A and B are shown apart, each in its own frame.
Chain A
Amino acid sequence: MAFTSSGNLSAAEISTRDAIGAVNRAKRIDMVFAVGGILVMVIAMGLLFTLIGDLVVRGMARIDYDFLTSFPSRRPERAGILSAWVGSILVMLTTAFLAIPIGVAAGLYLEEYARKGWLSNIIEINVSNLAGVPSIIYGLLALGLFVYGLDLGKTILVAGMTLGLLILPIVIVSTREAVRAIPRVIKEGAYGLGADQWQVMWHYIIPAARPGILTGAIVGLSRAIGETAPIITIGALTFIAFLPPAPISGEFPFINFDWLTDGFTVLPIQMFNWISRPQAEFHVNAAATGVVLMALTLSLNGVAIWIRYRLRRAHHN
């Protein structure tokens, strides 16, 4: 390496300088990427949190005991969401009762029983497609099949079945994932001791997969609580000023299922109804209903995330 009197730099020096320049440039671009990523995230999250915060501020003022225990009314200040939250809970019960056993059974079959072949391939493609079918199409299916085909009417039972079909893919997929994560040795040990297939499922696979299945079921139910479109399509009434008969009573036989065949409304329908009115007072009611609805779905999801978090910690230890 030699310095020349003319002040020109040697080739080695130039390439070192280039290299340093390139590194600096790369660092700058990295910086842009990192800052850009954070910025986009902050903008998207910030927007959503602002919107949610706005909803809570507008809605919270309206939520009191009377709001939760009154029927909808023409006068916004006297209207409440009693029939809506009772309807939501009853529909959820029906949905859970139908979708969870069927979904778990289907997931178990696909993961443990089905031999690889065209049939299991078709079922698999089918499940993943069903997960992406728009919810309103499920509403049209229910309208054609349950309401007009089987003449079941616009009842809690029909709503429960519709939402049950809607969340079936979620339960199936989460069951499969939970079953797949179980170490093979548990299964092989049980078979080795002479258990038959169902005994292995019932005593080992299902208990071991329970937290994962539970997570999927909760996520599915929280989605069902917020669904509006399929319920509108089956023609659920939006003005319900009565409660279905109570499922549990003091007289024999203590439990009845009359409520299944009753008309109903649910929280998102009530909210939609109030958003669509021109008066601003009803919009406040809509915001309050939104707060109740969000509190329900977000706490359900929070529970699901917490279960999964604990599960992962248990696996790591």
Chain B
Amino acid sequence: MALTRIPNATELVASGFVARRKLLSRVMSVLLFISAALSVFVTTAIVVILVSESWDFFAQVSIIDFLTGTMWTPVFANPQFGVLPLLLATLQTAALAMIIAVPMGLLMSIYLSEYANPKVREIMKPALELLEAVPTVVYGYFALLVMTPFLQKFIPGLAGINLLVPGIILGIMILPYVVSVSEDAMRAVPNGLREGAYALGMSKWQVALRVVVPGAFSGITAAFILGMSRAVGETMILAIAAGQNPNLTFDPREGAATITAYIVQVSLGDLPHGSLAYSTIFSTGLVLFIMTLGFNLAGFYLRKRFREAY
């Protein structure tokens, strides 16, 4: 067996080894940068596609009519393009989801962060994570085929397709996410604050409500805002259980199409690309994107604030 001699530095430079390594390092850093920049490209592409595809639409329908109209009938002989029915259904289901998720989420995260013993927490955290992974089409199945028939026995006038049940299921769906973000925020409150409060004679619930919750306030708010963003953008639960009929209503027992359900309905149909009715999926998509963008940015800044605070 021949021993190869380890080359010295001069020989390495002369053989081009060093130059090759330098080149590889340069090339790789450029490739990595391109990959990171791709994410910016995706956002730009989303905006460009949504705006350019709905450009023709807004040339024919004024933005004022679009945002204030109460009739959404794109395929009628005399089409009306008022987005309010879709928007109202979207916000109504999201609000129902928040009515479920805010109190339950707050109680659960206070319990997990302040009361639960480490063993319970150790089991609950991964369990919550598993629940986050349940596909939304499965939640849609629950809403339409299990929960609605069940609740129809108790709630008079509850239609087979309604806003109430998908709203509740939506709340359950975002619950694991809301709990895990707000629990993280509560755990980030330094223990020194808790100990100081205990030393002053505060009891557990006082520490939880007067020290931990205020201390983690921006993080908790972020959790709910990001949860709201998910509820607004959720598609399958609503397309399945809230119906695909635009309907301006304040009665959650009735069905009504949300923005996302409407986009699904058009995608499943056979409207030709380029028609005015077809371009509505991009104009309504733009409304949805702007709404969730607002929620996401607010959530981002609030989360960043609690991270910096401690």
Partners in one complex: yes
Contact, CB under 8 Å: A48 / B45: no
Tell me which residues across on chain B come within 8 A of A272, comparing CB atoms: 137, 140, 236, 239-240
Chain A count of residues within 8 A CB distance of the other chain: 92
Tell me which residues across on chain B come within 8 A of A45, comparing CB atoms: 127
Which of B35, B175, B230, B285 is packed against the most chain A CB atoms within 10 Å?
A: B35
Contact, CB under 8 Å: A135 / B233: yes
Contact of A293 among B42, B135, B140 (CB under 8 A): B135
Tell me which residues across on chain A come within 8 A of B305, comparing CB atoms: none
Tell me which residues across on chain B come within 8 A of A40, comparing CB atoms: 104, 107-108, 111
Contact, CB under 8 Å: A123 / B24: no
B46 at the interface (CB under 8 A from A): yes
A207 at the interface (CB under 8 A from B): no
Chain A residue nearest in CB terms to B235: A229
B203 at the interface (CB under 8 A from A): yes
Chain A residue nearest in CB terms to B285: A140
Tell me which residues across on chain A come within 8 A of B50, comparing CB atoms: 137, 140-141, 144
Tell me which residues across on chain A come within 8 A of B136, comparing CB atoms: 226, 228-229
Tell me which residues across on chain B come within 8 A of A169, comparing CB atoms: 39
B37 at the interface (CB under 8 A from A): yes
Cα–Cα distance between A40 and B142 once the two chains are bound (Å):
20
Tell me which residues across on chain B come within 8 A of A290, comparing CB atoms: 137-138, 141
Report the stretch among B25-33, B64-72, B189-197 that lies at the interface. Answer: B25-33
Contact, CB under 8 Å: B229 / A132: yes
Known: A26-B206, A33-B204, A272-B236. A226 touches B39 (CB 8 A): no
Contact, CB under 8 Å: A128 / B300: yes
Chain B residue nearest in CB terms to A144: B49
Chain B residue nearest in CB terms to A112: B32
A46 to chain B, nearest CB (A): 11
Contact, CB under 8 Å: A132 / B299: yes
Tell me which residues across on chain A come within 8 A of B288, comparing CB atoms: 134, 136-137
B232 at the interface (CB under 8 A from A): yes
Chain A residue nearest in CB terms to B296: A132
Contact, CB under 8 Å: B107 / A36: yes
Contact, CB under 8 Å: A232 / B264: yes
A54 at the interface (CB under 8 A from B): yes
Contact, CB under 8 Å: A109 / B111: no
Contact, CB under 8 Å: B25 / A33: no
Contact of A129 among B107, B234, B293 (CB under 8 A): B293
Tell me which residues across on chain A come within 8 A of B297, comparing CB atoms: 125, 129
Cα–Cα distance between A145 and B297 once the two chains are bound (Å):
25
B250 to chain A, nearest CB (A): 24
Contact, CB under 8 Å: A140 / B39: no
Contact, CB under 8 Å: A105 / B130: no
Contact with B along A49-83 (1 / 0, CB 8 A): 00110110000000000000000000000000000
Cα–Cα distance between A217 and B40 once the two chains are bound (Å):
20
Interface residues on B, range: 35 or more
Contact with A along B204-226 (1 / 0, CB 8 A): 11101000000000000000001
Contact of B129 among A33, A54, A305 (CB under 8 A): A305
Contact, CB under 8 Å: A137 / B28: no
Contact, CB under 8 Å: B135 / A44: no
A53 to chain B, nearest CB (A): 11
Contact, CB under 8 Å: B141 / A298: no
Contact of A133 among B32, B130, B289 (CB under 8 A): B289
A261 at the interface (CB under 8 A from B): no
Which of A41, A52, A125, A148 is packed against the most chain B CB atoms within 10 Å?
A: A41
B254 at the interface (CB under 8 A from A): no
Contact, CB under 8 Å: B25 / A109: no
Contact with A along B279-310 (1 / 0, CB 8 A): 00110010011001101110110000000000
Known: A45-B127, A276-B240. A168 touches B36 (CB 8 A): no
Contact, CB under 8 Å: A196 / B21: yes
Tell me which residues across on chain B come within 8 A of A127, comparing CB atoms: 39
Tell me which residues across on chain B come within 8 A of A275, comparing CB atoms: 137, 140-141, 144-145, 240
Tell me which residues across on chain A come within 8 A of B133, comparing CB atoms: 219, 222-223, 226, 297-298, 300-301
Contact of B205 among A30, A225, A268 (CB under 8 A): A30
Cα–Cα distance between A130 and B136 once the two chains are bound (Å):
19
Tell me which residues across on chain A come within 8 A of B146, comparing CB atoms: 51, 54
Cα–Cα distance between A27 and B59 once the two chains are bound (Å):
65
A115 to chain B, nearest CB (A): 11
Q: Chain B interface (Cβ within 8 Å of chain A)?
A: 21-22, 24-25, 28-29, 31-33, 35-40, 42-43, 45-46, 49-50, 52-53, 104, 107-108, 110-112, 115-116, 124, 126-127, 129-131, 133-138, 140-142, 144-147, 172, 175, 203-206, 208, 226, 229-230, 232-236, 239-240, 260, 263-264, 267-268, 273, 281-282, 285, 288-289, 292-293, 295-297, 299-300
Q: Chain A interface (Cβ within 8 Å of chain B)?
A: 23, 26-27, 29-30, 33-34, 36-38, 40-41, 43-45, 47-48, 51-52, 54-55, 101-103, 105-106, 108-110, 113-114, 122-123, 125-130, 132-141, 143-145, 148-149, 165, 168-169, 172, 196-199, 201, 219, 222-223, 225-229, 232-233, 235, 268, 271-272, 275-276, 283, 286-287, 290, 293-294, 297-298, 300-302, 305, 309
